[in-house]
Amino acid sequence: MDRKARDAEWSELMRTAIAGDEAAYRKLLAELSRLLRGVVRRGFAGVGVARDDVEDVVQDVLLAVHLKRHTWDPAMPLGPWVLAIARNKMIDDLRRRGRRPEVALDLSQFDIEGEDQQASIDAHDVDRVLNGLSDRNRDIVRSISIDGHSARDVADRLGMTEVAVRVALHRSLKTLADTYQEKAG
Amino acid sequence: MKTDDLINALAADAKSVEPPIARTFAVALAIGAVVSLIAFMVTLGPRPDFPQLLTNSVRYTFKLIVMLSIAIPAFFIVRGLSRPDFDPGRSLWWLAFGPALLLLGIGMELAVVPSGDWHQRMIGHNSFYCMTIIPILSVAPFLAMLYALKSGAPSHPVIAGAIGGVLSAGIGATLYASHCPDDSPLFVAVWYPVGFAVMAVLGALAGSRFLRW
């Protein structure tokens, strides 16, 4: 699929996702994660940094895509917006590691192909950050993410309303993103 | 945590999306501007003959137009900068429109006013007020601008903050200009930029400090 058609499909998925469609959103995030894995690896290779924890940066970017998706203009293609976020997060990561952040990361030149092989590898930053959450919030995040339970199921198990579980999940995701950011500062 | 696990959590949070950033930005700035407007009306207010001045005084109307022609492009550029994929590029030139207009005004003023009066017109009556009140009237739009940018994802937080400072000063200066008795472009060009510079520097500092995401 050429880049334009892919972008059109992604933009449509994101529009549907913003309207609240979880399935479309999941499909989009899975495709973006494959793209980002290639982008992050090549971006870092381009500045001479060998990285074995690409997956941490991929997850940081996905969190930012999620929490900032209201900054995407539906009249614009989704791809460049995602790449702009990836670029910001990669610069943050370099800065965090004491590298010169000015290094050009010209993502527009990449003929990007996705990478799949790391989807099943654990990333560690999020785990460390998860430990900073309250017991209940960590339980909620783990049940929904790792165990794949629905918010409804978790609510029943913990004796909470589904809305309360969703709110706790959202707050926790924000905390995860903020904690990434603090490491950069 | 595996990335696929994280995606489970993000997908479960699909319904939490915030309102579009362009709307948040417009609403925040409107509130900030109205707060400043109310504070201005309660304390200083426009000159008593405001309606007549708009039709009769070229200089008075001109300075209001200059201030708005700085504030309006700044609004659109900062709103764009709240998105990560916005490339300000040539749109930054629109920020030069107001100053260019003012230069034109200065040229005309120098042509029609005898040179013996230039100094007095430039010094005016209220330069101290001008330098202090513009930043004060800019505070509410400034905070609104920071709030909106914080909810956005600016790739250039320092530039966004600085131009946001210009935007807030543009709003404060438009209000102050309607009160200030000094209408000469010479006065406007010497004293108004101080308020703009103060807010731009504050915006750049706030941008580097608070707007990382």
What confidence tens digit (pLDDT) does each residue in B25-58 have?
999 999 999 999 999 999 999 999 999 999 999 9
pLDDT, average across residues A82-86: 95
Q: Evaluate if residue A185 carries a pLDDT over 50.
A: no
Task: Give residue A42's pLDDT.
Answer: 83
Q: B86 to chain A nearest CA, in Å?
A: 8
CB B195 within 8 A of CB B138: yes
Q: Which residues of B touch A21 (CB under 8 A)?
A: 14
How many residues are recorded in chain B? 213
* Partners of B2 in beta bridges: A122
Is residue B85 less than 8 Å (CB to CB) from chain A?
A: yes
A170 contacts B13? CB cut-off 8 A? yes
Q: B171 to chain A nearest CA, in Å?
A: 25
Q: Tokens representing A71?
A: 């900054």
A185 contacts B212? CB cut-off 8 A? yes
B17 contacts A69? CB cut-off 8 A? yes
Percent of chain A, pLDDT > 70? Answer: 81
Q: Evaluate if residue B4 carries a pLDDT over 50.
A: yes
Q: If you measure CA to CA, which chain B residue comes closest to A16?
A: B14
Q: Which residues of B touch A92 (CB under 8 A)?
A: 212
For A118-144, write each residue's pLDDT tens digit.
Answer: 555 667 777 777 888 999 999 999 999
Q: Which of A70, A127, A173 is the best residue to mutate to test the B interface, defined by the most B CB atoms within 10 Å of its own CB?
A: A70
Q: If you measure CA to CA, which chain B residue comes closest to A125?
A: B1
The distance of Cα B66 from the centroid of its chain, to the nearest Å, equals 12
CA-based torsion, A55, A25, A31, A66: positive or negative: negative
Select from B54, B55, B89, B94 the least CA-distant residue to B74.
B94
Q: Evaluate if residue A96 carries a pLDDT over 60.
A: yes
pTM, entire model: 0.91
Between CA A65 and CA B153 the distance in angstroms is 10
pLDDT, average across residues B160-184: 97
Q: Evaluate if residue A55 carries a pLDDT over 80.
A: yes
